[in-house]
């Protein structure tokens, strides 16, 4: 820590005064990749969303707002429901992830033993590295009618017919929480770890109970982290596709599922583009808020 502060201290005036060095050219390949395969494609998506067809191959394609109008009018009565379902699932997933992630993050941040810290960290990161499809499969084996929970409860005679744990929003949310909790834990651990433990100790030596010291000192100080983690999990869960489409059955229809339907079965890439722009808009608002909070947190802008 010390070294870093000293370094930044003498490096900064230099950096401000001198011009870009030749090393700056190394940014070129990344810039090219991002312009060609990221900026332009999102531009294409925006253009497609306001055309009636493919403007390159189809000379009769014309400018139109009908895809957005179709979403707004919602004659079939499914688009608005899909949007609300997406936001609802995202919100519940976020709140539950926070309730599960906070204790874990607090435990990890305050853990004295290095080995314990590494073990918990591995336990948190391991699911993160196992892929969404695999983790969704795991939850299907647990929650389905003949799954682990229902079979066990029935063999104990506690229930006589399987509980409806899957093919609904409940199952979708459970699996999504499991998939995104690691992001919450990692965000929160960093923030809680930076809170000086002595603040809490001071509160306690002044007579506050452990719970009160936590609620009045540590919790308020960790709120920016709570917000950042929540925004991240929300952004991730509203764009989930695999889990809702496998765990939701016919009960759940979210915006990403609707997009995949438009591309796969209806083959209407223009309407898919409009749906994509709507999802993008929601996400951009969240991402900008997240970056603002993170920048204020670390004091060093944009260094995620």
Partner 1 sequence: MSAVPNKMPFDPGRAAYVTLNVVLLGFLLAPIAIVLVFAFNPTPYISFPPVGVSLRWFDKFFASSDFMNALWLSLWIAACVLVLAVVIGGACALALARGNLPGRGFFTAFFMSPLMLPAILTGLALFQSYLLVGIGRPVWGLIMAHTLIAVPYVLRTTLAVLHNFDRRIEEAAAVLGASPLRVFFEVTLPLIRPGVFAGGVFAFIVSFDQFPVSLFLVVPKGETLPVVLFNYMKFDLDGAIAAASMVSILLALAVVLVLERLIGLKAYVKL
Restricted to residues 268-297, the positions that interact with partner 1 (CB under 8 A) are 269, 272-273, 276, 279-280, 283-284, 287, 290-291
By CB under 8 A, the residues from 2 to 61 that bind partner 1 are: 3-4, 7, 11, 15, 18-27, 29-30, 33-34, 36-38, 40-42, 44-45, 48, 54-57
Name the residue nearer to partner 1 (CB basis): 2 or 75: 2
Q: Which residue has the tokens 């204790």?
A: 103
Q: From residue 206, how far is each of 195, 198, 200 by CA, in Å?
A: 19, 12, 10
Q: Which of residues 69-98 bind partner 1 (CB under 8 A)?
A: none
The 3-state DSSP class for residue 51 equals strand
Q: In the 8-state DSSP scheme, what is residue 38?
A: I
In the three-class reduction of DSSP (H, G, I as helix; E, B as strand; rest coil), residue 120 is classed as helix
Helices (H), the chain: 2-17, 28-34, 40-48, 66-73, 79-109, 114-128, 132-143, 148-155, 169-193, 197-205, 210-213, 219-238, 242-247, 255-264, 269-298
Q: Which span (62-70, 71-79, 127-135, 157-165) binds partner 1, by CB under 8 A?
A: 127-135
State in angstroms the smallest separation of the CB of 127 from partner 1: 6
DSSP state, residue 27: G
**Interface with partner 1 in residues 152-181 (CB under 8 A):** 152, 178, 181
Which range, of 65-73, 87-95, 101-109, 156-164, touches partner 1 by CB under 8 A? 101-109
User: Nearest-CA neighbor of 269 among 254, 284, 259, 279?
Assistant: 259
Task: Answer yes or no: are the C-beta atoms of 247 and 136 closer than 8 Å.
Answer: yes
Count interface residues toward partner 1 (CB under 8 A): 108
303 near partner 1, judged by CB under 8 A: yes
Residue with Cβ nearer partner 1 (70 or 289): 289
Stretch that binds partner 1, among 64-72, 74-82, 112-120, 157-165 (CB under 8 A): 112-120
Task: Pick the closer one to partner 1 by CB: 124 or 169.
Answer: 124
């Amino acid at each position: 820590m010390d070294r870093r502060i000293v370094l930044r201290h003498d490096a900064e005036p230099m950096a401000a005064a001198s011009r870009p060095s030749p090393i700056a050219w190394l940014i070129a390949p990344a810039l090219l990749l991002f312009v060609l395969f990221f900026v332009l494609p999102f531009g294409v998506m925006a253009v497609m969303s306001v055309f009636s067809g493919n403007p390159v191959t189809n000379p009769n394609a014309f400018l139109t707002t009908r895809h957005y109008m179709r979403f707004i009018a919602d004659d079939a009565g499914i688009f608005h429901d899909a949007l609300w379902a997406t936001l609802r699932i995202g919100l519940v997933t976020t709140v539950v992830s926070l309730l599960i992630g906070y204790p874990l993050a607090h435990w990890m941040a305050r853990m004295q033993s290095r080995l314990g810290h590494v073990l918990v960290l591995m336990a948190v990161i391991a699911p993160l590295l196992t892929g969404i499809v695999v983790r969704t499969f795991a939850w299907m084996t647990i929650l389905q009618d003949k799954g682990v929970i229902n079979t066990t409860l029935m063999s104990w005679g506690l229930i006589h017919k399987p509980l409806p744990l899957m093919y609904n929003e409940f199952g979708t949310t459970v699996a999504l929480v499991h998939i995104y909790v690691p992001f919450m834990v990692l965000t929160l651990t960093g923030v809680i770890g930076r809170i000086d433990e002595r603040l809490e100790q001071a509160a306690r030596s002044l007579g506050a109970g452990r719970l009160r010291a936590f609620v009045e000192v540590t919790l308020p100080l960790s709120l920016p982290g709570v917000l950042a983690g929540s925004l991240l999990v929300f952004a991730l869960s509203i764009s989930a596709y695999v889990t809702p489409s496998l765990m939701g059955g016919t009960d759940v229809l979210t915006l990403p599922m609707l997009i995949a339907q438009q591309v796969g079965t209806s083959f209407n890439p223009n309407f898919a583009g409009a749906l994509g722009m709507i999802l993008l808009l929601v996400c951009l608002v969240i991402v900008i808020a997240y970056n603002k909070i993170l920048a204020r947190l670390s004091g060093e802008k944009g260094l995620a």
